Structure 1
């Protein structure tokens, strides 16, 4: 649901329902009789939803790390650089160059943001359990779905993590050990949501039973439980209410908000003033300088990602895409001549990566370094993000933050139908009885949409395509090895700069190999990056448990291996 002043009302209900709030634990507010009704449950539920973007009043750690769209996680993959100058957000620079530390404010901030969501979901569940009259099964299912989502995020980032139940919450027993994974608890919450959520919701943004089924399929996919994952995901594909939008780029514009392709999204919106309902944690990720006076030049796509969009006869260069580079203007002033790449490209390239000579979301031709904050001595290259940046003409969906930053009101898709199609294709390849023909069908369905979408046009008003776009469908998957490679590559092309890449590489078990090769390749065009990045190691497959969390636990929490 689109968040409005309801969130502020909810906060007032929680924080001001007792004159003795400053003298009593916050947990005491949950037993107040004024909350034991439908209005109270709904207000508390809004609080559980609102944590999904990482914004809250009691933040600790680095605020930018809390973003629900996981843009920081792309910086730890081969999709994105931190952007800006090396000295701005030094801690993020340390993460990108693999000089991780257990005391990182970025890890601590994300840890706290996720647990805030878990605790808010638990608060709803615990409240409902104290109400003796009325049917709250649907609200309970929403809260349990949200708890499942938050715990899924925690699990995929840290591995063995503490599990906080509603009983722990009600008894204020938050200090739990992290001796095992929590997949069973995640699955239990998603199953409850599948069984108790309606198939449709009157209010946009709320999960349905189909949403929960898609997330359950993803949970099994992450555990390499391929047969179960396939059954769930394929049912969502064949029987669910979803479809691909006709035009790829609409997923990143207002047209894609709560559309037929959206399965679950952060409901961003804006107003006339400073708005915490917009994408506050993505405020750094606009051109600086740029076409509309924005800030701050972070979140720069990599050369590696752009290279991946090269094609041959319309198909990806699965093994050889880094043997040639799409022309980069790194180190070339905007006043100097530059020839854009003339080779064939997947048309999704220019809806994902902002590059010189191509229109930038309707604001005109990207002039190159004049719009890039980083200097040639920095590690972040010369490209701009596009999927998270609103288009010209959609200025009614922009807010201005407290220090003049831009805030987008376009939704972020935590999961969209193309993602489900490609997860189902992956499971079809890997399950005990592989179905390569079905995997081919689903991959081609994604590619067919990209092929039939509107292509970026040249800035000279000629109506010509902006570049040499060439995309075709696969004719066959001759074997499982080829199919696996094609499905994985398609995920990067379709979902690049959407916060998924790091976790895909980790679950495929090739993070260290891919990132080691990436660092070498990226250093060809961005020499400072090749010189600064350190060694990727197996222990980087999990984040370190924040040392502050370990200290506060009195040693109950155990550190992940390698740190």
Structure 2
């Protein structure tokens, strides 16, 4: 069984000395409870608990974003997500849940940020706790701003519904708060953590790199990614067969040299990751599921994917042996499904959500480095090639002429397209493709979806709606502040 390092939230009958346990902070007096470092660390678990839940990263957040990728098509109640015409009531309900849980997580972080200075700790310990809380607040706001646009900036704890106020801040102001939090976190957090799953200064640097990439601040994005690369703490796991990617994503895995910051789950009732059920059928050899996402070779990224790329076989499957021992193929109309996240049917899925991994640092450095120089540099090409070589089963750091990309004939635009394609394959079903397309601009996003799916993207599909409950309860937001199409 996968060793539990972090986030055993309810283990009343199990001794687990290295496991963090959530404390229901909303039921305790904050002033009375937060007296020691252990109290603060326990309180921090509430910040993670809301992120890990079914309404956010547990299920709905990756389900919504993966269904909006150009290579993924949704089934069932998720169909409107892949039609690109705006969300229906069912899926608006899901994005409302995401909003609620991310803001609850922000509020839990704000409690820690406010109370930590009053706890008797060394300055180093205080900074480590504050760095973690501010990293997590930035993480939540980064997810909010990319999907909803401008949102209220809340930096103080909310204790009553009457305190739920704040105008939708301009997007630039949201990003400023994210940057301020992460710049603090990268100096306050330790280089390594005793408990796997807590962010380090390198996680803060890589999240900064991702944010700067989204903001097209190319030089700083490249430099922050390069700091992670040059730290020497991370590396790509070498593989020679497709199944060896289980050493990166497997349900039995505790961690790997690629993990920079993952959302951690475990094979424990109530602690497993819910999203993998969206990928698999009910009678298959993997996690029992509903097969909500599928794809087809009519989509260019899938059609053009080389069979020599080990990620293709690892990510895609068209048939399986069902639990009665019968070879089963997926329906002709829905011929291919995704299988990156897999566990035995009897287990709650123990896979972790790979939010930040080392390949991200390499590909951010490649893209941003080329954009900063107005064309690919040798370093940018090499960083791209490291990821590409590993995908074909070769050692990442050794040139492979038959596989490597070269500088010859490349422009900034053509090289960026290479990187974006590599990102699509490398991070398939990691909830990032739609966000990658969005940062390329509306015209490019719409053209890509049109070419892949034959669908016109409505403006209403570009941002998720502000929840009606927020409009009703927040005196500073009215129906006129709603995103287009809702």
TM-score normalised by the shorter chain: which range applies? Answer: 0.7 to 0.9
Query: How far did residue 244 of structure 1 move?
Result: 0.2
Residues 1:283 and 2:277 are matched in the alignment: yes
2 CA distance for matches of 1:209 and 1:351?
A: 31
SS in 1 for 2:328: coil
**Alignment check: 8 A CA contact 2:265 2:271 kept:** yes
Query: How far did residue 65 of structure 1 move?
Result: 7.9
**Alignment check: 8 A CA contact 2:47 2:109 kept:** yes
**Alignment check: 8 A CA contact 1:354 1:385 kept:** yes
Query: How far did residue 472 of structure 1 move?
Result: 1.8
Query: How far did residue 548 of structure 1 move?
Result: 3.1
Residues 1:452 and 2:383 are matched in the alignment: no
**Alignment check: 8 A CA contact 1:263 1:415 kept:** yes
Per the alignment, residue 84 of structure 2 pairs with: 98
Query: How far did residue 437 of structure 1 move?
Result: 1.9
C-alpha RMSD of the superposition: 3.2
Query: How far did residue 484 of structure 1 move?
Result: 1.4
Q: How high is the TM-score relative to the length of structure 1?
A: 0.73
Per the alignment, residue 350 of structure 1 pairs with: 313
SS in 2 for 1:384: strand
1:166 equivalent among 156, 180, 187? 156
SS in 2 for 1:136: helix
From the superposition, tell whether residues 431 and 552 of structure 1 become closer, same or farther in structure 2 (CA, over 3 Å). same
From the superposition, tell whether residues 418 and 100 of structure 1 become closer, same or farther in structure 2 (CA, over 3 Å). same
**Alignment check: 8 A CA contact 1:119 1:169 kept:** no
**Alignment check: 8 A CA contact 2:7 2:265 kept:** yes
Per the alignment, residue 473 of structure 1 pairs with: 404
Per the alignment, residue 294 of structure 1 pairs with: 288
Q: Which whole-Å deviations, capped at 9, do the CAs of 1:352-396 have from their partners, x for residues lacking one?
A: 11124xx78999996313xx6xx95xxxx1222211122xxxx4x
1:542 equivalent among 463, 467, 472? 463
1:521-560 matches, within 5 Å, as: 535-554=456-475, 556=477, 558-560=481-483
Per the alignment, residue 4 of structure 1 pairs with: 8
1 CA distance for matches of 2:60 and 2:261?
A: 12
**Alignment check: 8 A CA contact 1:227 1:427 kept:** yes
**Alignment check: 8 A CA contact 1:354 1:360 kept:** no
**Alignment check: 8 A CA contact 1:444 1:474 kept:** yes
2:340 equivalent among 377, 387, 402? 387
Q: Which whole-Å deviations, capped at 9, do the CAs of 1:296-326 have from their partners, x for residues lacking one?
A: 2222234356753636xxxx7xxxxxxxxxx
**Alignment check: 8 A CA contact 2:58 2:274 kept:** no
Residues 1:237 and 2:239 are matched in the alignment: no
Per the alignment, residue 439 of structure 2 pairs with: 507
1 CA distance for matches of 2:476 and 2:160?
A: 23
From the superposition, tell whether residues 548 and 95 of structure 1 become closer, same or farther in structure 2 (CA, over 3 Å). farther
Q: How high is the TM-score relative to the length of structure 2?
A: 0.84
2:175 equivalent among 177, 183, 186? 183
Per the alignment, residue 33 of structure 2 pairs with: 34
Residues 1:144 and 2:134 are matched in the alignment: yes
1 CA distance for matches of 2:284 and 2:431?
A: 24
Residues 1:217 and 2:209 are matched in the alignment: yes
Query: How far did residue 255 of structure 1 move?
Result: 6.3
Residues 1:267 and 2:188 are matched in the alignment: no
Per the alignment, residue 50 of structure 2 pairs with: 51
SS in 1 for 2:81: helix
Query: How far did residue 416 of structure 1 move?
Result: 1.0
2:109 equivalent among 117, 121, 124? 121
Query: How far did residue 172 of structure 1 move?
Result: 6.8
1:252 equivalent among 249, 252, 256? 249
Residues 1:437 and 2:378 are matched in the alignment: yes
Q: Which whole-Å deviations, capped at 9, do the CAs of 1:427-447 have from their partners, x for residues lacking one?
A: 011115644322211111111
Q: Which whole-Å deviations, capped at 9, do the CAs of 1:502-523 have from their partners, x for residues lacking one?
A: 0000001121111122222xxx
SS in 1 for 2:392: helix
SS in 1 for 2:262: strand
Q: Which whole-Å deviations, capped at 9, do the CAs of 1:533-558 have from their partners, x for residues lacking one?
A: 6x313453222222332222246251
Per the alignment, residue 17 of structure 2 pairs with: none
Query: How far did residue 562 of structure 1 move?
Result: 4.5
Structure 1 gap segments, 5+ residues each: 18-28, 56-62, 317-343, 401-406, 455-469, 521-532
2 CA distance for matches of 1:171 and 1:127?
A: 21
**Alignment check: 8 A CA contact 2:376 2:412 kept:** no
**Alignment check: 8 A CA contact 1:162 1:176 kept:** yes
Aligned length: 454
